[in-house]
């Protein structure tokens, strides 16, 4: 059995796919299998994959979406550890070795992720926030509260224990582009998270990225924040109402209030802002947005 199963998700990125595969082949750690999970490509990716003897092809005839495709990969993966790589991203040569070493040496850790760079079409480094945010960072250990604020883990940077899925379940395939955030939140409830500060993952920024589907991403985020509200009693019972977790819960409600307002649920938005202020009366943003919520919807959106 391989130590690591690499879930290489493929969908119409043939210009970048060979670069991703070469980055896998260049890894200093070699005990892996490469599951090429093609979700209905029509750009020549499938034909190229079939010509590569070290790739294990799995072709979906019906497009499953990102998380349905990953779930299929999890169902056939044989490795103790799972690494994800989107076909438009790539890795530094020592990425797998450092993550395997971390998981082998820290049994309380369920997932290891890395730092890295955003890169452009030609692989050039892109500093700053080329897609609206900087490369996400977080601490290590019990970081659930940090993940409630925002998704701080790039999918192509992760390696996690396959055994963790027995407790958390697989990805929710109904999400468009935030199903990884939903999964990392469940992982963080079940185990510790560790971040390698080395720049080992390179996330490509280009016009065909799923994250450019803003409305779908916003709807995913709203669903996750609604779900997080229902999780608060569980988190409080398991971890206690720590200042960090309480602040994160207040932030989540404030974000949910805005997302409800944008969707036209003015009453629900105000209720979320009130709940946010109950958890953190000093949260001025919640108070300000609550006041603004009495404006017409169009005016409210223009001021956000």
Q: List the domains of the chain with CATH numbers.
A: 4-212 (3.90.550.10), 215-302 (no CATH)
24, 66, 234 from 27: Cα distances, Å: 5, 25, 40
Strand partners, 195: 113
Six-digit token string for 188: 């963080």
Dump pLDDT digits (tens) for 125-161: 999 999 888 999 999 999 999 999 999 999 999 999 9
Model pLDDT, residue 210: 57
pTM (2 decimals)? Answer: 0.93
Q: How many CB atoms lie within 10 A of CB 239?
A: 14
End-to-end CA distance of the chain: 52
Residue 249 has pLDDT above 80, yes or no: yes
Model pLDDT, residue 292: 74
Dump pLDDT digits (tens) for 27-66: 999 999 999 999 999 999 999 999 999 999 999 988 999 9
Alpha-carbon span 254 to 120, nearest angstrom:
34
Region 99-108 average pLDDT: 98
| Exposed / middle / buried, residue 125 (Cβ in 10 Å: 0-12, 13-18, 19+) | exposed
């Amino acid at each position: 059995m391989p130590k690591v199963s690499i879930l290489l998700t493929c969908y119409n990125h043939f210009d970048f796919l060979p670069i991703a595969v070469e980055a896998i082949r260049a890894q200093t750690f070699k005990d892996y299998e490469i599951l090429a999970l093609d979700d209905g490509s029509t750009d020549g990716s499938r034909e190229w994959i079939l010509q590569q003897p070290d790739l294990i092809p799995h072709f979906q005839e019906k497009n499953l979406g990102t998380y349905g495709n990953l779930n299929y990969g999890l169902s056939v993966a044989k490795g103790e550890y799972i690494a994800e790589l989107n076909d438009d991203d790539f890795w530094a040569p020592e990425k797998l070795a450092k993550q395997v070493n971390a998981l082998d040496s820290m049994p309380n850790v369920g997932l290891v992720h890395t730092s890295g760079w955003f890169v452009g079409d030609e692989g050039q480094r892109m500093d700053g926030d080329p897609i609206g945010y900087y490369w996400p960072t977080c601490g290590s250990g019990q970081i659930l509260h940090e993940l409630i604020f925002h998704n701080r883990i790039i999918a192509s940077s992760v390696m996690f224990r396959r055994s963790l899925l027995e407790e958390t379940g697989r990805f929710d395939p109904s999400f468009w582009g935030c199903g990884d955030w939903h999964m990392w939140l469940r992982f963080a409830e079940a185990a510790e998270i560790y971040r390698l500060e080395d720049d080992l993952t390179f996330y490509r920024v280009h016009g065909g990225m799923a994250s450019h589907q803003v409305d779908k991403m916003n709807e995913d985020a709203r669903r996750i924040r609604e779900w997080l509200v229902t999780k608060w009693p569980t988190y409080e019972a398991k971890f206690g109402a720590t200042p960090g977790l309480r602040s994160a819960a207040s932030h989540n409600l404030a974000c949910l209030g805005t997302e409800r307002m944008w969707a036209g649920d003015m009453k629900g938005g105000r209720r979320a802002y009130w709940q946010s202020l109950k958890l953190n009366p000093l949260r001025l943003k919640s108070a300000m947005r609550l006041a603004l919520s009495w404006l017409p919807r169009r005016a409210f959106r223009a001021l956000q």
